[in-house]
Structure 1
């Protein structure tokens, strides 16, 4: 390996982990400290901006050690700044599983905080809606089409409630279901779902998707409801509300 490449490797290894990797011998420490502080402080600031709740919850030294561990152990796939939160989430998923000081909800809370930015920069929206999509179409006779920027998520912990005054140490018996979506004004919105609404969204995402009437009838059957028409009537209003919110783009003609 050429000398300049060995020098670069020693330089970057020291910046990642100054306690374990020696700095290049021919660079005075005063100069190295400028780089050490610049790299660490910028990374800490960027992560704190993308994960504000985690940053607020963790004690200062715990946060700094977490950032240092990320810098030391993670090898990023993307050099792009907007991808930094995803890289941090990947680090928590695959490397940060061995520190008992971390709250048990750390990974799920990080995912919840990442979702907002991920939606804002997502390219999941189609360039053009399906040719036969009817924005005001019949949501019962037709097949409701969900926006690709509406994400149906489930967590063991109620991540949307976690903060300085609520930090559960054990997951509740029932999971938390959340719908995170971009509304018609391209603002990120969060909606807590019950199990029935989440099941409806799952059914509408199937391929081939059922029409609204069939999806609601199936839910009534699964619930063992004695008056299925009540479920269908309630579900019809729910479908209309989801279309107003921009979660449902419209309906395709039923088959």
Structure 2
């Protein structure tokens, strides 16, 4: 049922006040009590942001964090109807801006994005895949966990605490985040570019370990060697253990 226009206007006025703190008379609302609405809504937003971005919250000073939350709360009209999704809008709010925090912490956006990816993977809808956990690593085709995300960063925000990062750390870093199918726990693995290529091949469909190694060597123009085979075998074995690779293609 559509709300009357006046009701919608009054709700919008109250929402604007909760965001900005600038009050204009609203029918049915007592000015002496309205500050409680803003305090309650602000606390919900602050709590959600702290829960989504604990590493960023720990990195920033109390003054920096409070100023950022107040700025976001006041200036950004959140769009998502899902409360858990709201923290992503902080990342989207900061991304296009010239901001003093981004100058002080050049890795800030990547840290926020890493933290948000963990939330998003944890909350994402299931992506079913047909597989079996029983198979022969030397002959059977491997099935990649479909609940994963490949990511490249310029700073090792996944490897070092944020307060330890310096401009000297800037480079090329690769990782994969994935959700374990049984527990729902979100893990990550640091990757080399060659291992990224291996996972990208598996994204296209199941492959045997031998075919996977040969395709990667061909793509990187590498001579297949015992060292490469051993490294690939170790990675695939580890990936089966931690469920980045969830199993083998079912034969039925």
Aligned to 2:75: 73
Residue in 1 that maps onto 2:100: 100
Q: Is the 8 A contact 2:214 2:224 kept in 1?
A: no
Contact 1:139 1:250 in 2 (8 A): no
Pick one of 4, 15, 20 that aligns with 1:17.
20
Quick check: 2:206–2:249 contact (8 Å CA) kept in 1?
A: no
- Paired residue for 1:155? 153
> Over residues 158-196 of structure 1, what are the superposed CA-to-partner deviations in whole Å (9 max), with x where a residue is unaligned?
1124536313346613x2212222334332222212222
Choose the corresponding residue for 1:124, options 120, 123, 126: 126
- Cα separation, 1, equivalents of 2:242 and 2:106: 33
| Aligned position for 2:34 | 32
Picking from 231, 244, 248, the partner of 1:247 is: 244
Q: Point out the more displaced range, 81-90 or 109-118.
A: 81-90
Counterpart contact for 2:144–2:206, Cα < 8 Å: no
What are the superposed Cα offsets for residues 88-146 of structure 1, whole Å, 9 maximum, x if unpaired?
Answer: 3333335xx121233222221111111222222221331xx42xx34233345443211
Normalising by structure 2, what TM-score?
0.82
Are residue 146 (structure 1) and residue 144 (structure 2) matched?
yes
Residue 160 of structure 1 aligns to a residue whose secondary structure is: coil
Q: How does 1:1-255 map to 2 (within 5 A)?
A: 2-18=5-21, 21-24=22-25, 27-94=29-96, 97-102=97-102, 103-126=105-128, 129-130=129-130, 133-163=131-161, 165-169=163-167, 172-173=170-171, 175-183=172-180, 184-206=182-204, 210-252=207-249
**Which deviates the most, 51-60 or 137-146?**
137-146
Over the residues paired in the alignment, what is the CA RMSD in angstroms?
2.8
4+ residue runs over 6 A deviation: none
Deviation at 1:48, TM superposition (A): 0.9
Structure 1 unaligned runs (5+)?
Answer: none
SS at match of 2:126: coil
The Cα shift of 1:23 comes to 2.9
Deviation at 1:29, TM superposition (A): 4.1
- Are the aligned partners of 1:145 and 1:252 in contact in 2 as well (CA < 8 Å)? yes
Take 1:58 and 1:70, find their aligned partners in 2: how far apart are those partners?
15
Segments of 5+ residues of structure 2 without an aligned counterpart are: none
Q: How many residues align?
A: 244
Q: Secondary structure at the match of 1:144?
A: strand
* Partner Cα separation in structure 2 for residue 124 and residue 170 of structure 1: 39
- After TM superposition, give the deviation of residue 40 of structure 1 in Å: 1.2
